[in-house]
Amino acid sequence: MSWFKRENSEYESNAGPESNGDATEKRVRTEGLWSKCPGCRQPLFKADLEANLNVCPKCQHHFKIGARERLELLLEPGYQLVDGGLRSTDPLNFTDSKPYKSRLRAAQQQTGLDDAILNAVGQLGPRKVVVSAMEYSFIGGSMGAVVGETIARAVDRARIGQMPLIVVAASGGARMMEGVVSLMQMAKISTALAQLDDAGVPYICVLTDPTTGGVTASFAMLGDLNIAEPGALIGFAGPRVIEQTIRQKLPEGFQRSEFLLEKGFLDAVVHRRDLKNYLIRALDFLQMPAGA
């Protein structure tokens, strides 16, 4: 019997048809009890992995986590979800292997979210902050009109309320099913962030695995402080596309957060367990009074 997650989460016993109802009683539910680390390939008990913030205790590989988990990791209990209720209208009536509307419905049912983003207002240490966390499991965290509008509202909320803004990026880029509408979100968010900067309100972007495409080309790299989790893939085009284009072998670790830190594209790489305290200290620094 395999203890790892498979498509079929229930495994029947070897009892034959004559066992009748006993087969149901002997059925063992094992899905999700164990995970295999993609970094060191070691089996990990799910409860231990979750207790370690979904970081492999053996090789420190950072597993992907959802938007809700991000908010719970960073904010004190009692935070408030805001700017919800927005849903895509499928402006292009797009269809590829399946209609875009069908993809949206499936993602909404799977994640319980309206789109690939959650906004919240809550306490981060001594400060009230606005956090906008992306959800990668919703169509790859892609940025369409709803994601762009929701982040823009978070920026405006932070500017009007004079609260620091933190965006947690996790995305494959602009959502192709919305065409130029998705690309417009890059300019919209960047313009809102320029107004936030003019107002002197701090903005920190946390880049997680992966942060690519139009998200990297816009708000993910515009923070007063740009930090990343260890091993995160960060870039515009993916490494395989680049290798096929330039017909050269890329350096080891190319487009991973440690590589980008070395080349000056990031300010810091921070372990998940240290992220909350790091952000608290960073905001202390960014909001120091003049001359202090």
Q: Rounded to an integer, what distance in angstroms lies between the CA atom of residue 132 and that of residue 138?
A: 15
Confidence at residue 44, expressed as pLDDT on a 0 to 100 scale: 94
Q: Rounded to an integer, what distance in angstroms lies between the CA atom of residue 183 and that of residue 60?
A: 35
Tens-level pLDDT at each residue, the chain (292 residues): 445 555 444 434 444 444 444 544 444 455 568 999 999 999 999 999 999 999 999 999 999 999 999 999 999 999 999 999 999 989 899 999 999 999 999 999 999 999 999 999 999 999 999 999 999 999 999 999 999 999 999 999 999 999 999 999 999 999 999 999 999 999 999 999 999 999 999 999 999 999 999 999 999 999 999 999 999 999 999 888 999 999 999 999 999 999 999 999 999 999 999 999 999 999 999 974 443 3
**What is the domain-level CATH number for residue 180?**
3.90.226.10
- Alpha carbon 43 to its chain centroid, in Å, reads 24
11 in a structural domain: no
Q: Rounded to an integer, what distance in angstroms lies between the CA atom of residue 227 and that of residue 225?
A: 6
21 in a structural domain: no
Q: Is the pTM of this model over 0.85?
A: yes
Confidence at residue 238, expressed as pLDDT on a 0 to 100 scale: 86
Torsion angles phi and psi, residue 131, rounded to 5: -120, 130
- pLDDT per residue as tens digits for the range 62-114: 999 999 999 999 999 999 999 999 999 898 999 999 999 999 999 999 999 99
Confidence at residue 29, expressed as pLDDT on a 0 to 100 scale: 56
Exposed e or buried b per residue across 229-244, where buried means at least 16 C-beta atoms within 10 angstroms of its C-beta? bbbbbbbeebeeebee
32 in a structural domain: no
Torsion angles phi and psi, residue 2, rounded to 5: -85, 140
Spatial CA neighbour of 179 closest among 152, 211, 214, 206: 214
The two tokens of residue 121 are 């207002």
103 in a structural domain: yes
203 in a structural domain: yes
83 in a structural domain: yes
Domain that holds residue 228: 65-286
43 in a structural domain: no
Q: Rounded to an integer, what distance in angstroms lies between the CA atom of residue 290 and that of residue 226?
A: 22
Confidence at residue 268, expressed as pLDDT on a 0 to 100 scale: 98
127 in a structural domain: yes
Confidence at residue 287, expressed as pLDDT on a 0 to 100 scale: 77
Q: How many domains is the chain partitioned into structurally?
A: 1
